[in-house]
Amino acid sequence: MAIAMVIIAQYHMEVNLFGETICKSEEEPVCPICQTKLKFRDWRRRISIKEGRDVTWIMIRRLYCKKCRRLHNELPDILSPYKHYEAETIEGVVDGIVLPDDADSEMYPCAATMNRWKQWIAHNTPFIEGFLRMIGYSIMELGKEYLMTGEKIFDSLRKRLPPERKSWLGYINRIIYNSGASLEPFPKVEAP
Ligand SMILES: [Zn+2]
């Protein structure tokens, strides 16, 4: 079974006396399945790789839902479920800002990894677009005229995300995973 996750946007990182980086959550997440307030269970180490292959292990909270009896990893939105690289790096590649050609092999993920990310987003794009349209229609009450335009909501979100929300992948992850849905891995199941 896939690991259940909640993605948080309000947090800060602290380094403790042992040199460990701790993700200090400022949120009190609810279970994406039953909306019960989650309880702290324990800490878990999670890898985080920045552009430049700079590896940090971050301590994240593992939360427990006493109703569903399930554990949920609390992931800061700089990270993406099942991906080791930070969302910002993945976005840079998907948006074509980081190209395999200009990538120094010492500094960037390999071309195969970059291609996988592009394929992963391309594979999930119809689902993400449908999800955003559903939210636009049912929650934000956007008119039919808006939703019937040819413009893809996902594309415009990628271009016009407000500056305080720098990461479109973090934003997408948050609305999808916190609703109890998930993106599909591509091409197959990846390591958590
Ligand atoms: Zn639950």
Query: Is 116 inside a domain boundary?
Result: yes
Taking the centre of ligand 1 as the mean of its atom positions, its distance from the CA of residue 7, in whole angstroms, is 15
Q: Look over the chain and give the mean of its residue pLDDT values, rounded to a whole number.
A: 87
Q: What is the DSSP string of 17-44?
A: TTS-EEEEE----B-TTT-PBPEEEEEE
Query: Is 76 inside a domain boundary?
Result: yes
Query: Is 8 inside a domain boundary?
Result: yes
Query: Is 191 inside a domain boundary?
Result: no
Query: Is 188 inside a domain boundary?
Result: no
The whole domain housing 29 covers 4-177
Taking the centre of ligand 1 as the mean of its atom positions, its distance from the CA of residue 64, in whole angstroms, is 8
**What is d(CA 10, CA 33) in angstroms, rounded to the nearest whole number?**
21
Is residue 147 pLDDT above 60, yes or no?
yes
Taking the centre of ligand 1 as the mean of its atom positions, its distance from the CA of residue 136, in whole angstroms, is 26
Taking the centre of ligand 1 as the mean of its atom positions, its distance from the CA of residue 176, in whole angstroms, is 16
**What is d(CA 133, CA 148) in angstroms, rounded to the nearest whole number?**
10
**How far from 130 is each of 4, 107, 160, 190, CA to CA, in Å?**
22, 35, 18, 24
Pairing mode, strands 4-8 and 21-25: unpaired
Taking the centre of ligand 1 as the mean of its atom positions, its distance from the CA of residue 85, in whole angstroms, is 28
Tens digits of residue pLDDT in 165-180 = 678 999 999 999 999 9
Q: How many domains, in total, are found in the chain?
A: 1
Tens digits of residue pLDDT in 118-143 = 999 999 999 999 998 888 777 666 66
In eight-state DSSP terms, residue 46 is E
In 3-state terms, what secondary structure has residue 160?
Answer: helix
- Which range has the worst mean pLDDT, 33-37, 63-67, 112-116, 185-189? 185-189
pLDDT of residue 26: 97
Taking the centre of ligand 1 as the mean of its atom positions, its distance from the CA of residue 178, in whole angstroms, is 12
Query: Is 186 inside a domain boundary?
Result: no
Which of the four pLDDT bands, split at 50, 70 and 90, describes residue 99?
confident
Query: Is 32 inside a domain boundary?
Result: yes
Taking the centre of ligand 1 as the mean of its atom positions, its distance from the CA of residue 74, in whole angstroms, is 14
pLDDT of residue 5: 93
With pLDDT > 70 as the criterion, what percentage of the chain qualifies? 84
The pTM assigned to this predicted structure is 0.85
Taking the centre of ligand 1 as the mean of its atom positions, its distance from the CA of residue 94, in whole angstroms, is 33
Q: CA gyration radius for the chain?
A: 17
pLDDT of residue 135: 82
